[in-house]
Chain A
Amino acid sequence: GAVVSQHPSWVICKSGTSVKIECRSLDFQATTMFWYRQFPKQSLMLMATSNEGSKATYEQGVEKDKFLINHASLTLSTLTVTSAHPEDSSFYICSASKGLGEDTQYFGPGTRLTVL
């Protein structure tokens, strides 16, 4: 159990366009979902934390108007990169936590975003 999926697995877009990435918990309800970004040969950097039905909490330095997060249900969170630029090219990974005293985060397979 505890499977998290992401869609798409990779995406290429033109500079200035917006891209939406979906994160789904397939076999459990996720009270909390997290979004990370990982540049080549670097560690994961937390971007934001979202709880179902409430606004996301963004980490310092992450622009909330550029990275729109929606956690509309207990099994789905979306990250929209608005007006993407080449410097936004990265590996985006989501994770989900069951909450209710269980802290383990289960990670999705990641989405490779390339902005031309």
Chain B
Amino acid sequence: LAKTTQPISMDSYEGQEVNITCSHNNIATNDYITWYQQFPSQGPRFIIQGYKTKVTNEVASLFIPADRKSSTLSLPRVSLSDTAVYYCLVGAPSGYSTLTFGKGTMLLVSP
């Protein structure tokens, strides 16, 4: 399983764009990159998933360079409610593969 490395914490202010970068140097050819958000005492919530280049949905964008050894989750115009822990995970889309959660990034958004 590919290991991921993220910053332990990040601070931001309301309305700013936040970029959280994740390193996954030993990502395998079949691995996808998935980001989850977790609030205290809640289960993780799926944010976005991608394989290469750029993926965008209604809440975030995911940028993946050509070598796929890192990825960046971009949250546009964050609000106080985006304060949470963000996890980057890599794994193959087999439906049976397990996920290994790293420590995640604690994002604190201030007024």
* Residues of A near any B CB (own CB < 8 A): 2, 4, 6, 31-32, 34, 36, 43-46, 49, 51, 91, 93-95, 97-110, 112
Q: Top 6 closest A-B pairs, CB basis?
A: A99-B95, A107-B43, A103-B93, A44-B101, A43-B101, A107-B44
Residues 73-111 of B, flagged 1 when their CB comes within 8 A of A and 0 if not, give 000000000000001000111111111111110000000
- Docked pose: A100 CA to B95 CA in angstroms: 6
Complex interface: chain B residues within 8 A of A44 (CB): 44, 87, 101
Not counting A34-B98, A43-B104, A49-B98, a sample of 16 additional A-B residue pairs whose C-beta atoms are within 8 angstroms of each other reads A2-B46, A32-B96, A36-B101, A43-B101, A44-B44, A44-B87, A44-B101, A97-B95, A100-B95, A101-B93, A103-B32, A103-B94, A104-B34, A104-B93, A107-B45, A108-B43
- Docked pose: A44 CA to B85 CA in angstroms: 12
Cβ–Cβ contact A49 & B93, under 8 A: no
CB-CB under 8 A for A102 and B95, given A43-B101, A43-B102, A46-B100: yes
Q: Which residue of B lies closest to A46 (CB)?
A: B98
- Docked pose: A2 CA to B44 CA in angstroms: 13
Cβ–Cβ contact B87 & A43, under 8 A: yes
Complex interface: chain B residues within 8 A of A43 (CB): 87, 101-104
The bracket for how many chain B residues form the interface is 20 to 34
Q: Which residue of A lies closest to B43 (CB)?
A: A107
**A103 CB contact (under 8 Å) in B44, B92, B103:** B92
Cβ–Cβ contact B43 & A110, under 8 A: yes
* Residues of B near any A CB (own CB < 8 A): 32, 34, 36, 41-46, 49, 87, 91-104
- Docked pose: A109 CA to B93 CA in angstroms: 23
13 CB-based A-B contacts, threshold 8 Å: A31-B96, A32-B96, A45-B101, A46-B99, A49-B96, A99-B95, A101-B94, A101-B95, A102-B93, A104-B34, A105-B46, A107-B46, A109-B43
Complex interface: chain A residues within 8 A of B100 (CB): 46
A67 to chain B minimum Cβ distance, whole angstroms, is 16
- Docked pose: A45 CA to B103 CA in angstroms: 10
